[in-house]
């Protein structure tokens, strides 16, 4: 289920929805985010893909929405793949570690990260966003390299006024270069709809993520500076904000810990079927872009 984000200064629903994009109903949502990272080499002959022997990456992003968090089966516990990174007092383990709650109040938010760094893989979390008025509160899921000229893939759900559409912001950092933010208002069900693909254009001088990255998630406030007092009043009135996470499985190639290189074709996410969108995916992607 793929989704690409094209930033068109995403607007709110005005009733003129594309028939290809199903509108939301009044149900409880859970956000599912899937990130594919896989590698390939391009040939100088017709720019064809011929082998899988470099560290170049091609990224596809999926965002799924729909079912209540507790209705989906889970397998791995949090401790198998992740550690709490910060905000210990704002972290709660539920269901024998198969569900994690992060909370945010005036004193702190919280975050966690994977124990290992990965050179390629399939990364996902099931996320239930904070309820009620959460303007200024950010629920983030991202991959980052923690290096000076870092690589990073960001997915940030920007808190909204109660009853307004959720805004999803993505960003890509490559070799320390970012400023690739794109936003979309999620007024429609995003199941199976691509929202963003960041293509590998290193051949024309565009930086591309190539460093091993850790998988991380966090709940934090995005209001700073002169708005601090107003922020504290807002959070004091509506806190604590709570985000829930499930689905801690990681299908990835741990960097320097696997007998095969992380761009090897033995990994299912490196298969040719994931190198591009299908015709159906391309069609719904274009419909999404034209509607935002």
pLDDT digits 0-9 by tens, 25-72 = 433 444 445 555 544 333 333 333 332 222 334 444 444 444 344 444
Q: What are the tens digits of pLDDT across the range 61-79? A: 444 444 344 444 447 899 9
Structure confidence at residue 143 as a pLDDT band (50, 70, 90):
very high
Rounded to 5°, angle at Cα 242 from 179 and 61:
40
Q: How is residue 132 written in tokens?
A: 């009620």
105 has pLDDT over 80: yes
Annotated catalytic residues are 152, 156
Quick check: 182 and 170 in contact, CB under 8 A?
yes
Give this prediction's pTM: 0.76
Quick check: 109 and 216 in contact, CB under 8 A?
no
Quick check: 182 and 6 in contact, CB under 8 A?
yes
Taken as a whole, the chain contains a residue count of: 292
What integer is the mean pLDDT of 249-268? Answer: 86
Confidence (pLDDT) at 188: 74
Structure confidence at residue 244 as a pLDDT band (50, 70, 90):
very high
| Domain residue ranges in the chain | 31-291
State the fold for domain 31-291.
Answer: Jelly Rolls (2.60.120)
- CA-CA distance, 175 to 213, in Å (whole number)? 12
- In sequence order, the 6+-apart residues with CB closer than 8 A to the CB of 210 are 55, 56, 57, 151, 174
């Amino acid at each position: 289920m793929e989704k690409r984000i094209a930033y068109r200064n995403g607007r709110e629903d005005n009733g003129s929805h594309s028939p290809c994009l199903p509108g939301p109903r009044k149900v409880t949502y859970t956000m599912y985010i899937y990130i594919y990272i896989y590698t390939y080499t391009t040939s100088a002959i017709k720019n064809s893909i011929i082998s899988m022997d470099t560290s170049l990456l091609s990224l596809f992003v999926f965002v799924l929405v729909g079912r209540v968090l507790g209705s989906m089966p889970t397998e791995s516990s949090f401790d198998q793949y992740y550690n709490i990174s910060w905000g210990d007092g704002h972290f709660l383990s539920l269901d024998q570690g198969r569900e994690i709650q992060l909370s945010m109040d005036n004193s702190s938010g919280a975050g966690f990260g994977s124990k290992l760094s990965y050179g390629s893989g399939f990364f996902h979390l099931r996320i239930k966003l904070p309820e009620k008025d959460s303007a200024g509160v950010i629920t983030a899921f991202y991959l980052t390299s923690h290096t000076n000229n870092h690589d990073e893939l960001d997915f940030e759900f920007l808190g909204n006024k109660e009853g307004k559409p959720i805004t999803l912001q993505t960003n890509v950092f490559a070799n320390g270069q970012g400023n690739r933010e794109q936003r979309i208002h999620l007024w429609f069900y995003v199941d199976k709809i691509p929202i963003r693909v960041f293509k590998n254009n290193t051949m024309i001088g565009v930086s591309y993520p190539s460093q091993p990255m850790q998988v991380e998630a966090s709940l934090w406030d995005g209001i700073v500076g002169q708005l601090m007092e107003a922020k504290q009043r807002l959070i004091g009135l509506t806190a604590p904000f709570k985000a829930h996470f499930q689905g801690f499985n990681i299908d990835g190639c741990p960097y320097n810990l696997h007998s095969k290189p992380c761009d090897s074709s033995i990994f299912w996410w490196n298969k040719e079927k994931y190198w591009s969108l299908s015709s159906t995916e391309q069609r719904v992607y274009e419909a999404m872009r034209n509607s935002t």
